[in-house]
Structure 1
C-alpha cells in the first residue's frame, strides 16, 4: 500500500529556508545525496507547490559526464516519477509526466495515494501544511542540518498536533541527522 510522505531538509531550528529565502546551507553532500536517492526510488508521484516545482524542474535537464554520478542518479529517479503541481499562477508546466492542478483537495490526495502502486511524496512546506492540517500525511522524513538560521520558512506548521512513532534514524559524517516518523 502506498504511503503519503513529506520529506524535508531543514535547519536544526526547523526552517527549510532562512528569512531571506536562502537554503544554500541545505545542499546535501554525496553521502546524504546517495541516501536520499535510495529513499526516493520507491516514490512514483511527487506533489509540488509552484515554488518547489520550479526549483525541482532543473532535474529534468541534469545529466551527463559533467555532473557527479549521485546527481545523475537522482535526475533519473526524478524523471521516472509523475508530478502533480498545485498552482493558481502557473499557465502550464514544463516537464514531462507532470500535470497542473489549480487547488489542493486533501481527500483527492488521499484517494490518489490509496490507489497508487508506489509511494507519493510531498515537496514543499506550503503544500505540506495543507495536507498535515487535513491529517492525510502518513510519514514525516526530516534531514536536520547542523545549522540554526533563526527564522524563515518553517518545515512544520504551528497549530497541528501529530502523534508519531520514530521508525528510522541515521547520522551522517557531515552532522546531518535523518529522522523518519510515522503517524500512529
Structure 2
C-alpha cells in the first residue's frame, strides 16, 4: 500500500503563504531544491488543489524553466513523470499530461488509489491536505521549514484538526532550512 504524504514548505511560524498570498519569502536554495527533487522523484501521483496545480504546471508548460540549469531540468523531468489529480470546481481543463480533473475530493477514491498505487502519493495545497487529514488518509507529514517568520497568512497545517506525530527523520541544510518527516499517529 502506498503512503499519502503531505509535503509542504512552511515558515518558522507555520505558514505556507503570507497574508497577501505571497510565498516568495523563501529564497532559492540549490541544496534544498536538489533534496526536494529527490523527494518528488519518488512520487507516483500528486494530488493538488487548483492554486497549487496552476503554480506547479509551469514545470511542464514553460520549457524555459528547465533550460535554466541542470537542477531545474532534473526537477521538471521528475515532476512531469508523475501522474497528477487536480481537484477544482472552477477549472474546465488541465494544461499538463498525465493529469486528471476531479470536481470534489472523494476520500474513498483516494483510499482506493493508496491501496493500488505502486509509488507514494503526495497531497499538496493546504485546503486539500486539510480534507485528507480530516478523512484520516495522511500517513506522513513532511515539512520543509524555512528560517523566516511571516506573521500570518495561510497555515501549513489545518486548523480544527488534531493529529499526533512521531518524528521519523530530520535534516538540516546549510542555509538553516529544516526538513522534518513525521508519521501521523493516533488519528
TM-score (norm 2): 0.94
Q: Which runs of 5+ in 1 are unaligned?
A: none
Q: 1:123 to 1:27 in 2, by over 3 A?
A: farther
Task: Work out the CA distance in 1 between the residues paired with 2:28 and 2:46.
Answer: 19
Task: Work out the CA distance in 2 between the residues paired with 1:123 and 1:101.
Answer: 15
Q: 1:28 to 1:182 in 2, by over 3 A?
A: farther
**Paired position in structure 2 for 1:94:** 95
Task: Work out the CA distance in 2 between the residues paired with 1:3 and 1:65.
Answer: 29
Q: Which runs of 5+ in 2 are unaligned?
A: none
Q: 1:58 to 1:163 in 2, by over 3 A?
A: same
- The secondary structure found in structure 2 opposite 1:24 is coil
**Paired position in structure 1 for 2:25:** 25
**Paired position in structure 2 for 1:76:** 77
Tell me by how many angstroms 1:28 deviates: 3.8
Matches within 5 A, 1:41-52: 41-52=41-52
Q: 1:94 to 1:133 in 2, by over 3 A?
A: same
**Paired position in structure 2 for 1:58:** 58
Tell me by how many angstroms 1:26 deviates: 2.4
TM-score (norm 1): 0.96
> What per-residue deviation string (whole Å, max 9, x for no partner) do you get for residues 100-153 of structure 1?
000001121111111101110111111001111111100000001011101111
Task: Work out the CA distance in 2 between the residues paired with 1:108 and 1:129.
Answer: 16
- The secondary structure found in structure 2 opposite 1:25 is coil
Q: 1:123 to 1:62 in 2, by over 3 A?
A: farther
Tell me by how many angstroms 1:27 deviates: 4.0
Task: Work out the CA distance in 1 between the residues paired with 2:146 and 2:87.
Answer: 28
The root-mean-square deviation of aligned C-alpha atoms, in Å, is: 1.3
Task: Detail structure 1 runs of 4+ shifted over 2 Å in the superposition.
Answer: 61-66
